[in-house]
Amino acid sequence: MNTPTTIPHFLTLQRKDFFPPPESPRGTISLSAGPRTTSYRAPEYPDCITLLELGSAALDGHYGILHGGIAGAILDETLGLTASLHLAPRSQQGLLGFTATLNVTYRTPVFTPSTVAVRSWVEAREGRKWVCKGQIVDADGVVLTEAEVLMLTKVQKSTL
């Protein structure tokens, strides 16, 4: 999707001093049930902020409005990156997270062309499960689309 007419610019800023949340007790991680009526409360300083310049036409579902599947893909990619940044120091093999579940809530249309930001953070973790949340926001900070993802880390093989 990185072309002059789709997403010509994509920049992720990472907190210098972020730490994953403490390990949750087994069996306590769950995603929100059903559609949400209120937006997630983003932390004052999310783990990552990604700035995107959205082109037009090729990304649209309806003229001038970003296709919902593209919004979901943007959130899946940025939330996966956020989890990976937490996981990278724990692994010599690099990126080990996989999306198990992605729940997307569409608040208001994302207009194209436009510049938007994605705020993303790790909400909870339990063993191989990581819950991340994120929001696509406009220049005024209005939440346009948000998502919650359950990421699973790769099962580590024992070495003898």
Q: Where are the domains of the chain?
A: 9-16+43-153
CATH 3.90.1010.10 fits domain 9-16+43-153: no
Task: Give, in degrees to the nearest 5, the angle at Cα 29 between 51 and 145.
Answer: 30
158 pLDDT more than 70 = no
Return the structure tokens found at 115: 């510049």
Give the list of residues 6+ apart from residue 70 with CB closer than 8 angstroms, or none.
Answer: 1, 59, 61
Model confidence pLDDT, tens digit, residues 80-131: 999 888 876 655 555 467 899 999 999 999 999 999 999 999 999 888 889 9
User: Is residue 28 over pLDDT 90?
Assistant: no
pLDDT at 116: 98
Q: Give the pLDDT score at 35.
A: 58
Parallel, antiparallel or unpaired: strands 9-14 and 60-62: unpaired
More confident residue, 81 or 40: 81
Alpha carbon distance 111, 128 (integer Å): 36
Q: What is the pTM of this model?
A: 0.87
